Amino acid sequence: MRLQDKVALITGAGSGIGYHSALVFAREGAAVVVVDVNEAGGQKTVSEVQAAGGKAVFVRADVSKAADCERMVQTAEATFGKLNVLFNNAGISHGDDDDSVNTTEDVWDLTFQINVKGVFLGCKYGIPALRRAGGGSVINTASFVATLGAATPQLAYTASKGAVLSMTRELAAIHARENIRVNALCPGPLRTELLMKYLNTDAKKQRRLVHIPMGRFGEAAEIANAALFLASDEASFVTGSNFLVDGGITSAYTTPE
């Protein structure tokens, strides 16, 4: 198994990419620390992992709060003895996110608190645990919009994911000699509840779909498989990468009708 005897902490594991990643990580041998602000979703993930014969524990945490991030890492080490994989996946895309004129300061600040500060705090407390384990893998969920501007305005989200990508590159450079790899996982548009709430009209969906060469939204389970690669020793020479899993959206200016 690809994560045999490893311990992985996944934020935002109560739904979407985090949920599917928890299931696949556990199936591949990892003990999983399931972190989410949504207790019902997180507990459901733990139950499913355990029902399949895996090991998991739930921690309710708001990743924008330092004390919560410190506690989730402490729980990983106290419960399973170490931490090998830190998957900073939790994030939001606010329904009122728009352009610079129409996005409110509150929406901007909330987006950065979770999407950027949450990754920073995860690394602040998680990287020392990886050091104690002799190294490991950090995966930060960014987005294709860190590379390519979105056709539908979502400025706070886009700027936040650009920050995650640049933070990832610097952390990779800082920690490369410590056997700690840091990569940005950059999904394209996915058929998740988060995106579908934002692309809440057929017109918005089609405006996004027309730019995807594969002609469909991705699935969260497909991103989880990419995260599995980055978490595993198969990615032992991969660090500082902008790991795009986007159906080709960043490869083409437009797509033929």
What local confidence, expressed as pLDDT, does residue 210 receive? 84
Whole-angstrom distance, CA of residue 34 vs CA of residue 49? 10
Residue spans of the domains in the chain: they are 7-235
Backbone torsion region of residue 181, taken as left when φ is above 0, otherwise alpha when ψ lies between -120 and 50, otherwise beta: beta
Architecture in CATH of 7-235? 3-Layer(aba) Sandwich (3.40)
Listed in sequence order, the residues at least 6 apart from 57 whose beta carbon sits closer than 8 Å to its beta carbon are: 32, 33, 34, 46, 75, 79, 80
What local confidence, expressed as pLDDT, does residue 257 receive? 52
Position 255 pLDDT exceeds 60: no
Is residue 165 within 8 A of residue 159, CB to CB? The reply is: no
Task: Check if 157 is active-site.
Answer: yes
Catalytic residue, chosen from 19, 125, 157, 198, is 157
pLDDT per residue as tens digits for the range 223-235: 999 999 999 999 9
pTM score of the predicted model: 0.95
pLDDT per residue as tens digits for the range 108-146: 999 999 999 999 999 999 999 999 999 999 999 999 999
Listed in sequence order, the residues at least 6 apart from 118 whose beta carbon sits closer than 8 Å to its beta carbon are: 11, 63, 64, 69, 88, 90, 91
**Mean of the per-residue pLDDT values of the chain:** 95
pLDDT per residue as tens digits for the range 148-189: 988 779 999 999 999 999 999 999 999 999 999 999 999 998
